[in-house]
Amino acid sequence: MEYGDGIVRRVRDLAPAFAERARIAEEARRLPEETIADLASAGLFAMLVPKRFGGAERGFEEMAAACREAGAGCASTGWLSVIYTLHNWMVGLFPERAQAEVWADRPYALIPCVLAPTGTAAPADGGHRVTGRWSWGSGVMHAGHVMVMALVTAGDAIEPRLFLLPREEVSVHDVWQTSGMRGTGSNDIEVADVFVPAHRSVPLLDLAEGRSPGSLVHSAALYRTPLVPVFALTGAAPVLGVAEGVLARFAERTRGRVMAYSGERQRETTGAQIRLASATADLAAARLLLEDALGGVVRAVAEGGCDLRRRAGARLVAAHVAGTARRVVNDLCSAAGASAQFTDSPFQRAQRDVNTISGHVVFEPDAAYALYGRIELGLDPGPVTLV
């Protein structure tokens, strides 16, 4: 699928540069500034920002396609492409005053967001006082703001709320020592009893149901879309892109590789031919499934709503696509031979990256499959389920 304004094409053209910088990103445990600048110049970060604030106000399908292209070059770049672009959309769900603050100087911001409610927030005059520590702060190394989820207790009720804070009001702990996705710089974020005004927080339930304050400010269906389905589906896009990048590299490598000991050309072996064909079919099917699910969510919102079954289906598809990508990458890396495991090889990096990102809670297959099964069979998903 192609799009008219060229963002997807521009990101595709940048993918080779992202691949060249992948080792630098891994060693630095953050993306190079050149990569951030390239993505911003391509128009990616502002593509879901409302037009009234200088953004392009495009759509999730185009955004996912662009992030898939970025992932084909570098998994960490692809993941942060989703993080920064989607989180700008989330800013558009806050009250208008918060949006004006974040986008005062340019029509995009660089914002990590942690949805795990590992902090607490106490009501205070005009807002809340927030305290906590959050892991998995992807993109925090370039951040100007952060978003964190905290639990607010009021009487007998407990309400999860998302809080938006300037970067200077939080501490970052350098803990991101991982085997894969090292370039995301997903360090811990700590907030120590910081006051957050009311206009910089939103109840999670409002985000999950597509009825946020921003949906009253902006008329486009984009801002009435439930959070979890688009987070899951757009998040799966760069994971699929990683596998597509590995497939392209495998095909190129196989054409010229001569097998050790036997001297046989790998392209002439039945095993290599079968692996190439099988991976091609699997990834094409996963791409169609992803595009169909994301398009279905977009159409459902435009037509008036996105029911629980469709939202659970989005979780199902995201987990299935990520699982397919992981399986294909591991299979192709095995077939690429032992030399593909040298540290300067993009194969081993992609393998470590996709195995790491597949562990994200939103891609956990048992939970996603069971969630869809429960809802399809008429059972309640439970009060704390991401759907």
- Per-residue pLDDT tens over the stretch 243-254: 999 999 999 999
Strand-strand pairing, 187-197 and 127-137: antiparallel
Identity (one letter) of the amino acid at 76? S
Q: Which CATH class is domain 5-103?
A: mainly alpha
Secondary structure of residue 230 in the 3-state scheme: helix
Residue 190: which H helix or E strand, with range?
A: strand 187-197
Q: Could you give the CA distance from residue 265 to residue 290 in angstroms, rounded to a whole number?
A: 35
Mean pLDDT score of the chain: 95
pLDDT reading at 1 higher than 80: no
Pick from 4, 149, 128, 10: which is nearest to 67 by CA?
Answer: 10
Domain with CATH 2.40.110.10 in the chain: 113-202
**DSSP characters over 262-320:** T--BGGGSHHHHHHHHHHHHHHHHHHHHHHHHHHHHHHHHHTT---HHHHHHHHHHHHH
Tokens found for residue 16: 């080779």
What confidence score (pLDDT) does residue 5 get?
61
* Longest Cα separation, the chain: 76
- The CATH T-level fold of domain 113-202 is Butyryl-CoA Dehydrogenase, subunit A; domain 2 (2.40.110)
Q: Are 24 and 35 in contact (CB under 8 A)?
A: no
pLDDT in tens, 225-270: 999 999 999 999 999 999 999 999 999 999 988 877 778 888 889 9
Q: How far is CA 205 from CA 3, 173, 202, 364, in A?
A: 33, 29, 9, 22
Which CATH number applies to 225-386: 3.30.43.10, 3.40.30.10, 1.20.140.10, 1.10.760.10? 1.20.140.10
Confidence check: pLDDT of 65 > 50: yes
**Using CA atoms, how far apart are residues 80 and 159, in angstroms rounded to an integer?**
28
Residue-wise pLDDT tens digits, 156-184: 889 999 999 999 999 999 999 999 999 99
98-128: pLDDT as tens digits = 999 999 999 999 999 999 999 999 999 999 9
**In which residue ranges of the chain is CATH 1.10.540.10 found?**
5-103
Give the whole-angstrom CA distance, residue 310 versus residue 39. Answer: 31
Q: How far apart are CA 222 and CA 58, in angstroms?
A: 8
Residue 155 — very low, low, confident or very high, per pLDDT cuts 50/70/90? Answer: confident
pLDDT > 50? residue 3: no
Count Cβ neighbours within 10 Å for each residue of 297-308 and write b for 16 or more, e otherwise: bbebbeeeebee
Give me the half-sphere count of Cα atoms (radius 13 Å) on the Cβ side of residue 386: 21
Q: Please state, in angstroms and rounded to a whole number, the distance separating the CA atoms of residues 376 and 160.
A: 27
For the cut 70, the answer to whether the pLDDT of residue 4 exceeds it is: no
Under DSSP, the state recorded for 54 is T
* Cβ 180 vs Cβ 355: under 8 Å: yes
Beta-strand pair 187-197/201-203: unpaired
Q: Where in the chain is the domain with CATH 1.20.140.10?
A: 225-386
User: Cα–Cα distance between 320 and 191 in angstroms, integer?
Assistant: 35
- Mean pLDDT over 199-222 rounds to 95
Q: What would the mean pLDDT of 185-214 be, rounded to a whole number?
A: 97
Q: Which pLDDT belongs to residue 386? A: 79
Dump pLDDT digits (tens) for 267-322. 889 989 999 999 999 999 999 999 999 999 999 999 998 999 999 999 999 999 99
Residues 212, 120: Cα–Cα separation, whole Å: 21
Sort strands 113-124 and 145-154 into parallel, antiparallel or unpaired: parallel
How remote is the C-alpha of 232 from its chain's centroid? 7
Tokens 């091609």 belong to residue? 280
12: Cβ contacts below 8 Å, ≥ 6 apart: 69
